[in-house]
């Protein structure tokens, strides 16, 4: 095993081993992932600034410039705290993606740990509600939970705890209803809360033609593994968000296939 620590080649009097190459590759991958998370947000400039400071520190250290090295070294020593403070949302999103990984996307282990949610979800009532809202151009946002229970969202909302039904969804999103504004959250085939306030996406590349409902739905998908359905009040188009991505203008058939893919084994009303 010692062979992986033995020098492979030397650069400027530094011995480079196989483990050093792996170390560099991991650092490069981590920086790439951080860049992908920061890209398109206001944090991208901060990211490049921190990278520039770090490489400047390495250069002045090699040149033995003592004073500037001490100054930059003091800053580098607190960089971890600075990163945690400035990149709270990005770090949370990254850790969430690590937790979900491809397991959630492929729905393999999800079926084991969340079978009740999948097996019991009444997608027929949801589809009927969305298509009805589409025709009447009634704005709506419906959050369907997977593994995240979203208690931090529902605690400050209007509690309902009722089985999914088209009449209930219709009454909630009726334009003159006091529950019309905000989102409905569905968990384990039950409408648990209405008038929910969702986190808003801060993505600078977010399409300008989409409204606050869509931005909130994307924000929800960035902070959880939930599936969110949106009906536009302006044009009646049905959209969905998951894992930070948005699909716009779904047909009834596309919506049904989408929900079957995400939740499996839908039951009738």
CATH of the domain at 206: 3.40.1700.10
pTM over 0.75: no
pLDDT in tens, 4-55: 545 554 555 556 777 778 888 888 887 787 777 666 566 677 778 888 888 8
The 3-state secondary structure of the chain reads CHHHHCEEEEECCEEEEHHHHHHHHHHHHHHHHHHHHHCCCCHHHHHHHHHHHHHHHHHHHHCCCHHHHHHHHHHHHCHHHHHHHHCHHHHHHHHHHHHHHHHHHHCCHHHHHCHHHHHHCCHHHHHHHHHHHHHHCCCEEEEECCCCCCHHHHCCCEEEEEECCHHHHHHHCCCCCCCCCCEEEEECCEEEEEEECCCCCCCCCCCCCCCHHHHHHHHHHHHCCCEEEEECCCCCCEEEEECCEEECCCCHHHHHHHHHHHHCCCCCC
* 65 and 116 co-located in one domain: no
* 113 and 99 co-located in one domain: no
* 248 and 150 co-located in one domain: yes
pLDDT in tens, 39-95: 656 667 777 888 888 888 888 888 888 888 888 888 888 877 877 777 776 676 667
269 occurs within a structural domain: no
* 171 and 257 co-located in one domain: yes
Mean pLDDT in residue range 158-162: 91
* 151 and 235 co-located in one domain: yes
Instruction: Indicate the residue among 74, 104, 134 that finishes a domain.
Output: 104
* 183 and 198 co-located in one domain: yes
Q: What is the residue range of 194's domain?
A: 109-263
* 89 and 218 co-located in one domain: no
In this predicted structure, what is the pLDDT of residue 30? Answer: 79
* 123 and 254 co-located in one domain: yes
191 occurs within a structural domain: yes
* Number of domains comprising the chain: 2
């Amino acid at each position: 095993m010692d062979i992986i620590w033995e020098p492979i080649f030397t650069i400027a009097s530094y011995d480079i081993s196989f483990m050093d190459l792996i170390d560099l590759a991991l650092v490069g991958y981590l920086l790439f992932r951080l860049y992908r998370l920061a890209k398109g947000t206001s944090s991208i400039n901060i990211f490049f600034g921190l990278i520039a400071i770090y490489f400047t520190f390495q250069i002045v250290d090699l040149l033995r410039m003592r004073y500037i090295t001490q100054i930059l070294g003091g800053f580098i020593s607190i960089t971890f705290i600075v990163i945690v403070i400035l990149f709270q949302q990005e770090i949370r999103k990254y850790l969430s993606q690590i937790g979900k990984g491809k397991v959630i996307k492929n729905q393999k282990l999800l079926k084991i740990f969340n079978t009740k949610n999948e097996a019991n979800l009444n997608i027929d009532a949801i589809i009927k509600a969305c298509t009805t809202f589409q025709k009447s151009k009634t704005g709506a946002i419906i959050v369907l939970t997977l593994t995240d229970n979203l208690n931090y969202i529902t605690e400050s909302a209007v509690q309902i705890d009722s089985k999914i039904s088209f009449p209930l969804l219709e009454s909630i999103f009726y334009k003159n209803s006091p529950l019309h504004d905000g989102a409905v959250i569905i968990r384990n085939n039950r409408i648990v809360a209405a008038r929910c306030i969702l986190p808003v996406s801060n993505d600078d590349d977010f399409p300008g033609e989409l409204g606050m409902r869509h931005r909130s739905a994307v924000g929800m998908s960035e902070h959880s593994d939930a599936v969110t359905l949106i009906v536009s009040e302006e044009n009646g188009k049905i959209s969905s968000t998951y894992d930070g991505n948005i699909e716009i203008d779904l047909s009834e058939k596309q919506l049904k296939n989408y929900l079957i893919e995400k939740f499996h084994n839908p039951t009738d009303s």
